[in-house]
Structure 1
């Protein structure tokens, strides 16, 4: 099937990582632009593969290039609803090509080509040939397919505008339903090659973490391939409709995560938050000093109020882990009326990048729009607190209520040696934790767990004797 492609094409290469030292070029990614799009069309020239812009042999080693992939498909049984699912499959199929790494989705793709693959004579037409053959094998209902690969900046820029328009049309349709309107949710394990214990639960109110698959997409995919990576979950008994906990969802997560997790809250970052893969568009993270929640997306290049960038935060909670106080999510989920409803929704959000905030105009309650600071307003805990006070953010009332009933300092039980001195000085007295259970990861094999605690701190010092 792949005799005319100069490198191997096989599922065995899925999950391959191409590090900078072994990279010939990078395509799209955080330092450039790119997108991928699948569209069902009435007229498709089967087998057509077109490259617009520099090909691999015309690129310079170590450079970064814009990148776009447009796949047009035709088939009697193809439905418009399948576009998102077939498009999401591109992540998996591209990674079958030895020496070609594909990460993320939609307009956030990030690809690399290895030096070895370039030396083998691999060109972008070969990527098109591999995708065409793999797609038709994976989806027999595809009768005709053409692929257009773009590396010319102006062409990619124009393509991204078209792609984003299509993404928005898909997302808007998913907002027509809520969880109460349906009897079936969906699970997706497409990312388990990178995150073995991750199970993505998709409901009308909660799109997949990647942002590329909504409830309608899943319905079409499960109908087309009942034994595929997207499967039905009967909603069943509701355990907690605010947190978003369902008996059958818990059972499905337990089964598909190989028993690693058996509970999940769909609408909270506390207790049992949704597992995170690595393809998520953004991360919600707890800011204990202010008892609020921040949001950061992968396009944000600076540091968060926790003092770390998106990449470090993503590394902590990705890979299929369930980390309390952190949750990967899609940007579309932030438009849902159930967005983190168990935690207070937007009344609990106290920081996010300006670009995200601007994109959510009309979804953030009008009375809160000017009360949530962005990276242009505040970045340190002190700056955020002042902004929240001046703007009269609802979180300040929450803090006042807890401050008026200060708990005694919690007793710290130590095991083994104490750690080296770490200080946090100059931080105003405030309740820095108010959660049922919060695990604080540390080094040296020590784990600190706070249960049902309200903690007030002016200074924290941990010493090693």
Structure 2
């Protein structure tokens, strides 16, 4: 059989492209592919096998109904796609045509490696996570060689948080011209300079992301999932006749394409518009992505801003911290919620002195056919992530211990509290739109109203926490790991068990279970089998160590869930309390965020927090208030009997539950024997107090021998 030389095939590709515009272009494509496949298979068989690992033929696999894993499969898909390219059903016919173009891209990639820059598996998993979790509202494929038009569309897409695949021969000029891409988030990805190669590869990648999230994919549900689950749209910044067969195929698969042209009109799912600023809104409208509130935001709102810091010198106003604060999500009946309503009750930012700290209450009321009360704390925890998506907003903490900062630059741009409500509405709709139909938000800044509602919120928090009473760590084999805070602390994870809530205090074992059920690993929660015991009395298991080592990138290889001095877990950024081992008195000091003075060790809560956040430090751990009430509270080190100092306000806040636990431990008078700021402000005073009251710690063996 006569075969073309590789050089001849490569040089004649442009001539073939012009032939494809004629009415017999499909026949010419099939003929070209047959000759090209023979040549590449004969001369570059090993290279072709290697390239197939990096350039999976996802569309072809879906068409064929099985994975394409060998060079021999390529001849099968060529024959099969050729026969189906004249199928009566348009979606099958179009998928077959796209498969032929996909095969062509692979073969030319094998020869020259110049057309497409493939996406590796790690990148693909990252994109999938962002899409199915709602972090990114959708995936856009953008083609265009006009640097000014491309920069304008990419800036808008990035600002809204889209994952963008770029096909352009002049993308480098856009970057050199000043477009800033946050490389950590990887939201904008150059794919190719050739329009057909890049567009077909990007469609295959979108299908590949779907297969990662669903486990398998068939051609019957491909179009439904691409549009509804991944929210895939295509934008073409300059019309080209050579793209028409591809656009027809995309349209048959159910995707929308917006083309910048001289006139505005619709041709099925291919929409021609004459204004560049209408491209992104048109795609969002067709995909059902809410943007009407985003248009009102004076600042950027995207996951690219998560993980930033806001320094004291940049703050215009802050909320919470030392002032009353709460954030609460409650489920309501559908008729009780007006979707999109945002109310600010009390003074707004422009009525507050610059540099001041203000009270704040955030009440989010949600309704939906799929909504359950058990989902409330899961949705509530997402407030942390969403506020940090704001370009000029910063958030740590949760529940009644949150802290929000608004920058001076944000205030100057016009950011006000209604925009905080807009961000929450948009973010929660993205994350939980499958279960929540309506959302209304009330933001309180009037201190008397905040205090009144704070008491109600705390009673609800307590009710949620009490759901787990009676379930112990020994009753289950599976624990959960929460990695939500890794956007700030890359090597930190929380281990959540029935008796050990997340260190922030908002994620209980039941919450973690529900979050994983709702969103899988996209929730930031994943289950782990604790595995074989190493030392159960310390909370040490093989499976736990293995999972933590993997998720912390090898930074933490061993931990003890029930010990403060022997491999404690890492501390998060949003803890309510800190426990510190004091060697001089063989005991544990506990201080919470509301206590601002120095502790007996000469450091304040803020100073200690700055030392330990994100780190595994023997003798130090930031944790929730609820952890103090757990039967597993540093059980390996002696438990509650080790506590020698805590602020009086914390003792009062723990109240009757703490007294009940002390009685259970056989030390009913322990609360009175624990020193506070009124009885001991220095180490010497603390030691004197412990002897004076005959604290039970004096009868315990040295903690370091445990």
Q: Which bin holds the TM-score, normalised by the shorter protein?
A: 0.7 to 0.9
C-alpha deviation, 1:375, in angstroms: 1.9
The equivalent position to 2:403 in structure 1, one of 110, 126, 131, is 110
Q: Secondary structure at the match of 2:485?
A: coil
The equivalent position to 2:313 in structure 1, one of 21, 38, 57, is 21
Q: Does 1:370 align with 2:665?
A: no
User: Structure 1 stretches of 5 or more lacking a match?
Assistant: 403-433, 437-451, 453-465
Q: Distance in 2 between matches of 1:142 and 1:204?
A: 28
Q: Is the 8 A contact 1:206 1:336 kept in 2?
A: yes
> Which residue of structure 1 aligns with residue 181 of structure 2?
none
Q: Does 1:76 align with 2:369?
A: yes
Q: Does 1:329 align with 2:588?
A: no
Q: Distance in 1 between matches of 2:476 and 2:562?
A: 17
Q: Distance in 2 between matches of 1:82 and 1:183?
A: 23
Q: Distance in 2 between matches of 1:176 and 1:216?
A: 13
Of 196-205 and 38-47, more deviation after overlay is shown by: 38-47
Q: Secondary structure at the match of 1:101?
A: strand
Q: Distance in 2 between matches of 1:210 and 1:175?
A: 19
C-alpha deviation, 1:255, in angstroms: 1.0
> Which residue of structure 1 aligns with residue 331 of structure 2?
40
Q: Distance in 2 between matches of 1:44 and 1:128?
A: 15
C-alpha deviation, 1:25, in angstroms: 1.1
Q: Secondary structure at the match of 2:581?
A: strand
> Which residue of structure 1 aligns with residue 253 of structure 2?
none
1:63-120: per-residue Cα shift (whole Å, max 9, x none)? 2221111001112222222211211110110011111111111111111111111111
Q: Does 1:388 align with 2:690?
A: yes
C-alpha deviation, 1:163, in angstroms: 0.8
> Which residue of structure 1 aligns with residue 659 of structure 2?
361
Q: How does 1:307-456 map to 2 (within 5 A)?
A: 307-318=602-613, 320-358=614-652, 359=654, 360-365=658-663, 366-398=668-700, 435=704
Q: Secondary structure at the match of 1:217?
A: helix
Q: Secondary structure at the match of 1:284?
A: strand
Q: How does 1:120-135 map to 2 (within 5 A)?
A: 120-135=413-428
> Which residue of structure 1 aligns with residue 566 of structure 2?
271
Q: Does 1:155 align with 2:449?
A: yes
> Which residue of structure 1 aligns with residue 517 of structure 2?
223
Q: Distance in 2 between matches of 1:339 and 1:162?
A: 27
Would the alpha carbon gap of residues 79 and 238 (structure 1) be closer, same or farther in structure 2, given more than 3 Å must change? farther
Q: Is the 8 A contact 1:194 1:277 kept in 2?
A: no
Q: Distance in 2 between matches of 1:48 and 1:341?
A: 48
1:115-172: per-residue Cα shift (whole Å, max 9, x none)? 1111111121111112111111111221111100011111111111111111110111
> Which residue of structure 1 aligns with residue 297 of structure 2?
5
Q: Distance in 2 between matches of 1:251 and 1:139?
A: 32
Larger radius of gyration: 2
Q: Does 1:289 align with 2:610?
A: no
Of 364-373 and 256-265, more deviation after overlay is shown by: 364-373
Paired residues in the alignment total 402
> Which residue of structure 2 aligns with residue 425 of structure 1?
none
The equivalent position to 2:536 in structure 1, one of 241, 255, 258, is 241
1:8-33: per-residue Cα shift (whole Å, max 9, x none)? 10111112222222211111222x21
> Which residue of structure 1 aligns with residue 101 of structure 2?
none
C-alpha deviation, 1:281, in angstroms: 0.9
Q: Does 1 or 2 have the higher relative contact order (CA < 8 Å, sep 6+)?
A: 1
Q: Distance in 2 between matches of 1:242 and 1:82?
A: 33
The equivalent position to 1:180 in structure 2, one of 474, 478, 485, is 474
Q: How does 1:91-102 map to 2 (within 5 A)?
A: 91-102=384-395
Q: Distance in 2 between matches of 1:192 and 1:89?
A: 14
Q: Secondary structure at the match of 2:595?
A: coil
Q: Is the 8 A contact 1:9 1:98 kept in 2?
A: yes
Q: Secondary structure at the match of 1:363?
A: helix
Q: Distance in 1 between matches of 2:342 and 2:575?
A: 30
The equivalent position to 1:258 in structure 2, one of 541, 550, 553, is 553
1:300-356: per-residue Cα shift (whole Å, max 9, x none)? 1111111100011111111x2100010111110111111110000011111111122
TM normalised by structure 2 equals 0.56
Q: Distance in 2 between matches of 1:169 and 1:194?
A: 30
C-alpha deviation, 1:201, in angstroms: 0.3
Q: Secondary structure at the match of 1:227?
A: helix
Q: Distance in 2 between matches of 1:234 and 1:44?
A: 41
Q: Does 1:201 align with 2:505?
A: no
The equivalent position to 1:139 in structure 2, one of 418, 432, 439, is 432
Q: Distance in 2 between matches of 1:384 and 1:49?
A: 50
Higher strand content, 1 or 2: 1
Q: Secondary structure at the match of 1:350?
A: strand
C-alpha deviation, 1:435, in angstroms: 2.1
> Which residue of structure 1 aligns with residue 264 of structure 2?
none
Q: Does 1:53 align with 2:346?
A: yes
Higher helix content, 1 or 2: 2
Q: Distance in 2 between matches of 1:171 and 1:398?
A: 31
C-alpha deviation, 1:187, in angstroms: 0.6
Q: Secondary structure at the match of 2:636?
A: helix
Q: Secondary structure at the match of 2:608?
A: helix
> Which residue of structure 1 aligns with residue 263 of structure 2?
none
1:373-426: per-residue Cα shift (whole Å, max 9, x none)? 122221222211121112111222237xx7xxxxxxxxxxxxxxxxxxxxxxxx
Q: Secondary structure at the match of 1:64?
A: strand
Q: Does 1:88 align with 2:369?
A: no
C-alpha deviation, 1:44, in angstroms: 1.8
